[in-house]
């Protein structure tokens, strides 16, 4: 329900509500400031990208142990895409920063829903995650036998964007739950990355798992995004990637709805029992 405010100087009446897009944009500016605080170009390149490259190489070397070139490529591509997911899942701890800084209570008291703030607040992880995955797949991958046709290479980055955006929605859903117990933020973030890694086909095919776990894997957008990227790497057939990428986007949209509901429920519960405070 909108509220109307009379401006003393102009006599105009405004609705007092700010558009959702403006809220997300404003929160995104904060996210950009966070990114500049966390990383310099040097620390991002050496401290973060270097670590991810070594992680991907660690898994690719398993293929060497198995004596299988196909396994090297399978594990390399899987881990490169998981690097993007890992960074998106940093939205789980960064969402809880609002509670630690004491701004969560203000957000709850503010007019309008809470979820647009949280959608914009952790957006910094998406471009970083896409950049990490892209560099690993396109620049480092060829050293491990990962090859791309020109058309496939051009589609890798958009495919990673789809993975990042859709998995960001999954991360926000988990973040809304973790807001209730922020001390578990790093455990939930890291555990969920491992679960996604297991189920999505990053290390072993999805069909390895029992039927009920396979069903769970199907609702994860990255399962389909990773499938699309593997098709690009193996066949380079562009038209075959649209269905899985489209499905990933649809699933991501669904997860955004779930995340919005979760944040709304959190806000309502907090107002009801007065538990939104500075608690760790």
Residues contributing to the site for other proteins (CB under 8 A): 43, 46-48, 50-51, 54-55, 57-58, 61-62, 64-66, 68, 71, 75, 183-184, 186-187, 190-191, 194-195, 197-198, 203-205, 208
Question: Smaller CB distance to other proteins: residue 111 or 191?
Answer: 191
Which residue in 150, 97, 35 sits closest to 278, CA to CA? 97
Least CB distance to other proteins at residue 219 (A): 19
Question: Smaller CB distance to other proteins: residue 151 or 208?
Answer: 208
Question: Smaller CB distance to other proteins: residue 32 or 191?
Answer: 191
**Ranges of H-type helices in the chain:** 20-38, 41-42, 50-66, 69-88, 91-101, 104-109, 115-121, 125-135, 150-178, 185-199, 211-218, 221-234, 242-273
CB 221 within 8 A of CB 248: yes
Q: What is the distance, to the nearest Å, from the Cα of residue 155 to the centroid of all Cα atoms in its chain?
A: 19
Least CB distance to other proteins at residue 21 (A): 34
Q: What is the distance, to the nearest Å, from the Cα of residue 31 to the centroid of all Cα atoms in its chain?
A: 14
Least CB distance to other proteins at residue 135 (A): 15
Least CB distance to other proteins at residue 156 (A): 23
Q: What is the distance, to the nearest Å, from the Cα of residue 75 to the centroid of all Cα atoms in its chain?
A: 20
Question: Smaller CB distance to other proteins: residue 158 or 181?
Answer: 181
The residue to which tokens 């939205």 are assigned: 91
Question: Smaller CB distance to other proteins: residue 10 or 211?
Answer: 211
Q: Tell me the backbone φ, ψ of residue 19, rounded to 5 degrees.
A: -70, 155
Least CB distance to other proteins at residue 255 (A): 22
Q: What is the distance, to the nearest Å, from the Cα of residue 110 to the centroid of all Cα atoms in its chain?
A: 26
Least CB distance to other proteins at residue 265 (A): 24
Question: Smaller CB distance to other proteins: residue 22 or 183?
Answer: 183
Least CB distance to other proteins at residue 212 (A): 16
Which residue in 242, 86, 231 sits closest to 164, CA to CA? 86
Question: Smaller CB distance to other proteins: residue 1 or 65?
Answer: 65
Q: What residues contact 63, with CB distance under 8 A and at least 6 apart?
A: 69, 70, 71, 72, 73, 74, 75, 76
CB 114 within 8 A of CB 267: yes
């Amino acid at each position: 329900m909108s509220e109307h405010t009379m401006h003393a100087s102009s006599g105009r009446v405004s609705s007092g509500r700010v558009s959702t897009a403006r809220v997300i944009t404003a929160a995104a500016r904060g996210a950009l400031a966070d990114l500049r605080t966390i990383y310099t170009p040097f620390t991002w390149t050496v401290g973060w990208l270097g670590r991810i490259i070594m992680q991907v190489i660690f898994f690719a070397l398993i293929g060497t142990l198995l004596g299988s070139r196909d396994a090297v490529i399978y594990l390399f591509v899987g881990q490169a895409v998981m690097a993007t997911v890992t960074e998106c899942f940093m939205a789980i701890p960064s969402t809880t920063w609002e509670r630690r800084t004491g701004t969560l209570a203000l957000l709850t008291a503010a007019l309008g829903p809470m979820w647009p703030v949280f959608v914009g607040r952790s957006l910094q992880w998406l471009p970083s995650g896409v950049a990490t995955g892209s560099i690993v797949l396109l620049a480092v991958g060829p050293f491990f036998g990962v090859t791309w046709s020109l058309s496939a290479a051009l589609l890798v980055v958009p495919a990673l964007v789809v993975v990042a955006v859709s998995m960001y929605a999954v991360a926000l859903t988990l973040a809304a739950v973790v807001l209730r117990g922020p001390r578990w933020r790093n455990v939930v973030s890291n555990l969920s990355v491992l679960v996604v890694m297991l189920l999505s086909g990053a290390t072993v095919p999805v069909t390895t798992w029992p039927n009920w776990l396979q069903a769970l894997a199907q609702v994860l957008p990255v399962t389909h995004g990773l499938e699309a990227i593997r098709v690009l790497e193996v066949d380079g057939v562009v038209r075959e990637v649209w269905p899985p990428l489209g499905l990933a986007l649809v699933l991501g949209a669904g997860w955004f709805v779930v995340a919005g509901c979760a944040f709304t429920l959190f806000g309502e519960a907090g107002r009801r029992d007065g538990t939104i405070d500075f608690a760790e």
